[in-house]
Structure 1
Amino acid sequence: MDTPPARATLKDVAQHAGVSTAAVSQALNDRGSMRPETRERILEAAAALGYAPDRFAAALRRGRTMSIGYVSTGPGPGADEGHTARATMRQLNSLVDVAAEHGYTVTVIPADRPDLLGAARVDAVYAPTAEANAPALSEAAARGIPIITTDVRVPAAAGTWIRTGYAAATTAALDHLRDSGCERVGFLTEAGGLAHGRIGEQAYLEWCLTHRQDPAIVRVRRGRPELTGPVRELMQAGADGVFSFYQEGPELFLGLSRTDLVLPRDLQVVALCVYDCDLNDRLGVTHVCVHPDAGPRLLLPALAAALAGGPALPTPLVLPWELVPGATTRPAARRGDRAQAKSP
């Protein structure tokens, strides 16, 4: 069996270029002052020898481990375990894929096992579903490990947080229903759901307060096959429009299609969409689309730069979201036109 060629070292490049190893390091990292022709000679020598910096060894010399801790949480009381597990795996898979692109590994740490942080040796902890008081986050802060949360504010000195857009998307959906002629908008949400459900419900309550509307909220346990009862309950409360924080558009649309309701004549509907927005488009469901899985792709470049001594992490990091009108709502009137039409 042939022996693989030895990997070129910094010393090999220095000898090939006729300079010191310090000069090679400066040239490869674009630091220091040297004549352009010397820098060019060093770069040509590195290319000729196939030299590639050992980023892991360099990170260790800087006290870094090139690993990110993923703080894992279980389902809350009353939450659907399968749904929570799927959401967690999407977040984790997204982090693993993007971390690998930047040369990082991922270590999973249960939120209630702060004792594992010492042995894990991570450069930062990413906690997309953890509460602010999770023991693992408190331990990370005590150890000076940067913390990244989702929709949970952390001091800039402790790390950063990612704003998913659930609150802004909820407000946009409610405004769209109001501008489409709805007099009272109901809110359909999951009983005992994930933390983002509380964010959406709080945004709904604040919107109702602003628009002087009595809230109409129905909480449904995930996996309930029949939506007729919950929707009828909202309609009996006077709702002529529904924002569903419980079901994504396709399931909601198919559930309501088995009733005698005609959308949007009898009821106008906007759905929250987290994963399959293309199917909403094909079905014509009006939806607001958020992208929680995009958090790692937004985070990793800034985190890698900060850990390498660059600018501090910006706070917050804001994820995109969009409102996509469809056939389950009527075309939204301009607010000025609507106000004028309703004035006596």
Structure 2
Amino acid sequence: MAVEAFLGTRAQRGFILTVLVQAIIVLTMVAIAFGLVAANVTISNIRYRTLPCYLALFALAEVFHLILSLDALHRRNIIQLVGLIMFHIGLLVFSSIQIHQTHTALVTMPGSDCALHYANCSGPSSLYHLVEAFLIVVPCILAASLVSLVWFTRQLFSEFGWAVFHVVGADPRMKAMYRYYQVMICLLKFDFFCFVGLTMQLLILVLHHNTAEFGITIAAIPIVLLLLVACGIAVQREIKWLMTISLILMLGAQAYFLYKFTRLFAPSTEGQYITTRTTLAVFLIVAFILIFASFAVGLRCFADFDKGLRHPKSNETGLANRDSKYNSVAPGSPGMVGRESYVGGTPLQPRISIE
């Protein structure tokens, strides 16, 4: 049985096409909503910054979704595809919350005459009523595409299971260790998005250049990004000292997210988060859970160091390039295909092809 080529099956192409079409429709709806608001209110006003931030965040999310989808299909990583399904659900929840936050930002005079206060009333002829129609389309499209993504992921499960067999073989112990490694790498990728999205919201929405919190947020950017990259290298190459430092820094990152969460409800600062508190709270909770999960899975991966998985992990990215090897005919042996050992990648004797 062969490892299917990258985007060589209907399920792979259907998955990517769903992500691409969904991204185009969602970004179009969000851009229209932003344009309507920008044409009627002063976007620089902190109260109305929720819409440009929403647009920027969804643009980042859709690009991230597409890149990680291609990466997951190229690496035959079913764990990452499941992670993308959960990420998609998160976008669905976030888009639903944004409808309420847009209402909070725009509707400041709910009982007023819309003829005089078009941008701030809540009647059927108000700005919010018009914008709301486009915002509602977003969660509807995300819900419909979620069904499609789940369907294609289910089809890809058996296909990618065969690819994992080519990397680590049939040893259940090796397969379990490899799954934890895949989960760890997947978590680090979503940690990256969550941190960048949270930081972008803080810098756009609420922080001022002359505050200490702004400086702390800026300083945290390179530290956290360095942490994620270092942890990825450490877990792949099994560098114990680097993994130890990464795990310690993860504890510091959790403390950082807790600090940010308390700022949302502290009496001295809660006023500046009035139109963004729900979104930021959700992002902070998710970020904390992801970092905690990364720390826990990282400990498990650390315990699996030096148990024979280092070579398969180092060679997994070449799986797509080795597809032709699995399907090739050995010289002078018609109907024969080469195969590799379960763990080390050492060539074994040819076997009869059953394809």
Q: What is the TM-score of this pair, normalised by structure 1?
A: 0.26
Q: What is the TM-score of this pair, normalised by structure 2?
A: 0.25
Bigger strand share? 1
